[in-house]
């Protein structure tokens, strides 16, 4: 199968409606006679379809203006399609970009709009890769190759556009190995067909017609060419039917020319008669519609005739057409594409025994081959550079993706650490706040208790002062009364001595009371512990008991000290311990009328128990009014004796000792002093 000359213009894939030449005046008269807007739109569409060149452009603009005023989406799309095709085909890029932006702005979102815009931008890129050989082309090819290798999630439209562009780029390669090149062209355009399968016929006519044309033109297999050619023709007939439903009066002959040209060269599969019918149909259409040729009507005829006569094995006519094609290609400055026909001429001359002509053709082919090889090597070098750039960019992309992945991992790790720190800080803060709240509550509770104790202390102080006054007034009144008696001359000497004794006792009572008060004040102002030293308990108890007997011994009471004299040494404050013993002995002595007052002591040195106990016990006849349960407190009923006991308790606490009134002792009265060893 011979290689087809590829001329990729917008018109290759466009489906403008062409007709036999109809004058501009005819359409103006038709427009003037139209009444409704719908009729005007139809006439303007026929005027655009039935004219060419500048007239075609003029009617396309008129149609677009009218479609805008009528707000008709279909006619807007048709007018913009023709305007874009014209300006892109004539390489007027600025105007083409203007109408692309206009289509983007005016047309509502639809499948046709998306395919139209993508197709027109793709054709602009096709012109770059086909007609240019510069950095812009290299950059564009690199981008396309990268997208095809990496963007597997691209849409069908994006893939179709990239495959279409790669197919167009492949057709521009000048190579000696035409079969390899043709296979690449067929592969890319067949992929484009796969991506556009199932589209509505109007949308499909953007990408698909030229794909069929390129596949048929590059197919070396007759069966492949027939299979795609028949699909090509069926699609054109379907679109022709669709146009009739839109009241379009003129039909496109250019793609029919392409389809008939391809099928005319397939006599091996279709048969001679069917191929002849397609060839005659092609010749007739090419004669009637020369303006619809892809390149020129002369080239289209020579190309089709060459393939047709080759398929029916008419070598002489094939040789004639081959000479005409070589001459024509040189005349239009496309001699680089004539080498294949020169090679075919050599084979034909050899089979017809025209050796002289074959030798001349071989010399021409040899000179052309050198140029083609040079061009091919340059193209291969350029493609190798592009492939290297693509490989470099792919490697760079993978490196960037790895760095991005690492950065993402580091970011997630930092985020995790931050979250953990935040959680830990929150937990710590909550616990700290909870602890502070608990401490605050406890402090508040202590303050409440302290306030209660303070109030109780104030109340007790007032009660103490009141009772103290009462205690002082009683002996003072007695002293005053008996003093008055002493001044009376009628009082005898015995009574006078009695009164003096009573006055002395009450004075001593007042003195002891004042001493106790001073001791309370001194102990209250000094919060430290009293100094301690080794003390003999037996000696101290005996001394205090003897002092009691000397000052206030009562008949009928037996006074005793019991304990182990060999084990009676403790570390305490001898002075204050004696003070406590003296007050306690006076207390139990006043409470006891008859019986025993026993001071006993015991030192316990067992494991875990290092203490000494002094017991002051009164048994017999004990005055119950003097006995109170529990420890002494300063309340409204507290008297001088109770004040003395309070002082004793305070002193015991300063000596790390305890003063206990044994409430469980029912046979009298007992106090216990517990001292640490």
Q: Of 187, 264, 194, whose CA–CA distance to 229 is shortest?
A: 264
- pLDDT score, position 15: 41
Mean pLDDT over 124-133 rounds to 85
Among 535, 481, 513, which Cα is nearest to 643's?
Answer: 513
d(CA 578, CA 574): 6
Mean pLDDT of 294-317: 88
Q: Average pLDDT in the 271-296 region?
A: 89
Which residue matches tokens 């796969």? 194
Q: What is the full DSSP assignment across 450-489?
A: HHHHHHHHHHHHHHHHHHHHHHHHHHHHHHHHHHHHHH-T
- What is the pLDDT at residue 358? 80
Of 71, 68, 33, 65, give the one whose Cα is nearest residue 48.
Answer: 65
Q: How confident is the model at residue 19 (pLDDT cuts 50, 70, 90)?
A: very low
CA dist list (Å): 571 to 529, 534, 577, 603, 655: 13, 4, 11, 12, 9
pLDDT at 646: 77
- List the structure tokens of 511: 């003195």
Distance separating alpha carbons of residues 301 and 290, to the nearest angstrom = 10
**At how many degrees (to 10) do helices 37-49 and 24-33 cross?**
170
Query: Given this model, what pLDDT does residue 192 score?
Result: 95
* 117, 77 Cβ separation under 8 angstroms: no
- Among the residue ranges 72-81, 278-287, 401-410, the one predicted with the least confidence is 401-410
Tens of pLDDT, residues 565-582: 888 888 888 888 888 888
What is residue 252's three-state secondary structure?
A: coil
- For residue 3, pLDDT over 50 is answered with no
Instruction: State the pLDDT confidence band at 491, using cuts at 50, 70 and 90.
Output: low
Strand 609-622 relative to strand 569-572: parallel, antiparallel, unpaired?
unpaired
pTM for this model (two decimals):
0.55
Q: How is residue 296 written in tokens?
A: 């020129």
Per the DSSP assignment, residues forming a β-bridge with 596 are 558, 619
- For 85-184, strand residue ranges (E) read none
Confidence (pLDDT) at 10: 38
Residue 74 has pLDDT above 70, yes or no: yes
Distant-in-sequence, close-in-space partners of 643: CB < 8 Å, separation ≥ 6: 464, 467, 468, 471, 513, 516, 517, 520, 634
Instruction: Categorize the per-residue pLDDT at 238 as very low, low, confident or very high, splitting at 50, 70 and 90.
Output: very high
**Tens-place pLDDT, residues 396-415:** 777 887 888 888 888 888 99
The more confidently predicted of residues 224 and 635 is 224
Per DSSP, the residues of 218-263 read H--SHHHHHHHHHHHHHHHHHHHHHHHHTT------HHHHHHHHHH
- Taking residues 451-461, report their average pLDDT: 74
The mean pLDDT of 349-373, rounded to a whole number, is 78
CA 343 to chain centre: 66
Return mean pLDDT, the chain. 81
Looking at residue 536, the DSSP 8-state letter turns out to be E
Which alpha helices (DSSP H) does 107-221 contain, by range?
A: 111-131, 135-150, 156-171, 178-195, 201-218
pLDDT > 50? residue 628: no
d(CA 486, CA 616): 40
Percent pLDDT > 90 in the chain is 23
533 or 10, higher pLDDT: 533
Q: Which tokens belong to 369?
A: 């081959």
Long-range contacts of 35-41 (CB under 8 A, 24+ apart): 37/66, 37/69, 37/70, 40/66, 41/66, 41/67, 41/70, 41/72, 41/75
Rounded Cα–Cα distance for residues 292 and 256 (Å): 10
Task: Indicate whether 627 pLDDT > 90.
Answer: no
pLDDT of residue 109: 93
- The 10s digit of each residue's pLDDT in 180-198 is 888 889 999 999 999 999 9
CATH number of 527-676: 3.30.565.10
Average pLDDT over every residue of 194-221: 92
E strand or H helix that includes residue 673? strand 668-676
Q: How far apart are CA 554 and CA 69, in angstroms?
A: 139
319 or 620, which is more confident: 319
Which three-class secondary structure state does DSSP give residue 73?
helix
What percent of the residues of the chain are helix, what percent strand, and what percent coil, each to the nearest 5? 70, 10, 20
Give residue limits of the domains in the chain.
17-108, 109-215, 221-312, 314-353, 527-676
Instruction: Give the phi and the psi of residue 515 in degrees, each rounded to 5.
Output: -60, -40
CA atoms of 70 and 507, how far apart (whole Å): 132
Whole-number pLDDT of residue 524: 65
Cα R_g (the chain), whole angstroms: 65
Which whole number is the average pLDDT over 223-227?
A: 92
Ranges of H-type helices in 50-90: 53-70, 73-89
pLDDT digits (tens, 9 = 90+) for 587-614: 888 888 889 999 998 887 654 567 888 8
Q: Which of 328-332, 335-339, 645-649, 651-655 has the lowest mean pLDDT?
A: 335-339
């Amino acid at each position: 199968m011979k290689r087809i000359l590829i001329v990729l213009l917008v018109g290759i894939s466009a489906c403008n409606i062409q007709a036999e030449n109809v004058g501009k005046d005819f359409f103006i008269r038709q427009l003037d006679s139209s009444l409704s807007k719908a009729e005007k739109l139809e006439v303007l569409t026929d005027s655009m379809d039935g004219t060419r060149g500048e007239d075609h452009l003029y009617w396309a603009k008129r149609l677009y203006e009218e479609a805008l005023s009528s707000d008709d989406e279909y006619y807007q799309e048709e007018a913009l399609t023709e305007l874009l095709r014209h300006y892109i085909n004539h390489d007027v890029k600025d105007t083409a970009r203007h109408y692309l932006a206009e289509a983007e702005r005016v047309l509502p979102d639809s499948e046709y709009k998306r395919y139209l815009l993508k197709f027109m931008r793709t054709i602009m890129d096709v012109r770059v890769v086909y007609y240019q050989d510069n950095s812009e082309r290299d950059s564009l090819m690199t981008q396309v190759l990268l997208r095809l290798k990496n963007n597997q999630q691209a849409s069908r439209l994006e893939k179709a556009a990239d495959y279409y562009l790669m197919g167009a780029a492949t057709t521009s390669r000048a190579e000696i190995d035409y079969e390899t090149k043709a296979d690449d062209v067929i592969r890319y355009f067949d992929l484009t067909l796969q991506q556009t399968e199932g589209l509505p016929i109007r949308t499909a006519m953007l990408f698909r017609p030229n794909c069929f044309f390129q596949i048929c033109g590059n197919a070396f297999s007759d069966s492949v060419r027939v299979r795609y050619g028949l699909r090509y023709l069926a699609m054109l007939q379907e679109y022709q039917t669709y146009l009739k439903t839109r009241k379009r009066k003129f039909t496109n002959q250019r793609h029919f020319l392409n389809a008939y040209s391809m099928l005319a060269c397939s006599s091996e599969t279709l048969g001679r008669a069917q191929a002849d019918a397609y060839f005659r149909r092609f010749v007739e259409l090419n004669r009637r519609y020369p303006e619809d040729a892809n390149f020129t009507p002369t080239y289209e005829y020579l190309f089709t005739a060459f393939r047709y006569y080759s398929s029916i094995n008419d070598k002489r006519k094939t040789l004639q057409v081959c000479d005409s094609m070589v001459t024509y290609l040189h005349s239009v400055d496309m001699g680089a594409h004539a080498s294949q026909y020169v090679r075919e001429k050599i084979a034909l001359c050899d089979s017809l025994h025209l050796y002289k002509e074959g030798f001349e053709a071989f010399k021409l082919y040899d000179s052309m081959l050198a140029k083609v090889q040079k061009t091919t090597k340059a193209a291969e070098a350029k493609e190798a550079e592009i492939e290297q750039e693509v490989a470099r960019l792919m490697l760079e992309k993978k490196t960037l993706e790895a760095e991005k992945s690492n950065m993402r991992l580091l970011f997630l790790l930092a985020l995790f650490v931050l979250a953990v720190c935040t959680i830990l800080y929150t937990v710590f803060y909550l616990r700290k706040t909870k602890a502070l709240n608990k401490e605050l509550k406890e402090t508040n509770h202590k303050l409440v208790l302290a306030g209660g104790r303070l109030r109780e202390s104030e109340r007790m102080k007032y009660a103490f002062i009141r009772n103290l006054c009462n205690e002082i007034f009683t002996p003072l009144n007695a002293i005053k009364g008996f003093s008055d008696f002493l001044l009376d001359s009628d009082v005898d000497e015995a009574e006078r001595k009695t009164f003096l004794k009573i006055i002395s006792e009450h004075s001593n009572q007042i003195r002891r009371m004042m001493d106790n008060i001073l001791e309370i004040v001194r102990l209250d102002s000094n919060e430290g512990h009293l100094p301690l030293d080794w003390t003999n308990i037996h000696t101290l108890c005996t001394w205090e008991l003897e002092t009691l007997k000397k000052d206030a011994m009562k008949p009928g009471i037996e006074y005793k000290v019991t304990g182990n004299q060999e084990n009676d040494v403790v570390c305490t404050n001898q002075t204050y311990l004696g003070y406590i013993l003296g007050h306690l002995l006076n207390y139990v002595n006043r409470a006891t009328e008859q019986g025993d007052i026993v001071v006993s002591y015991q030192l316990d040195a067992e494991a875990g128990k290092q203490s000494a106990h002094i017991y002051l016990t009164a048994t017999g006849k004990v005055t119950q009014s003097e006995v109170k349960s529990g420890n002494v407190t300063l309340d409204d009923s507290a008297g001088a004796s109770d004040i003395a006991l309070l002082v004793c308790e305070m002193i015991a606490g300063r000596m790390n000792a305890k003063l206990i009134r044994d409430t469980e002792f029912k046979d009298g009265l007992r106090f216990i002093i517990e001292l640490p060893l």
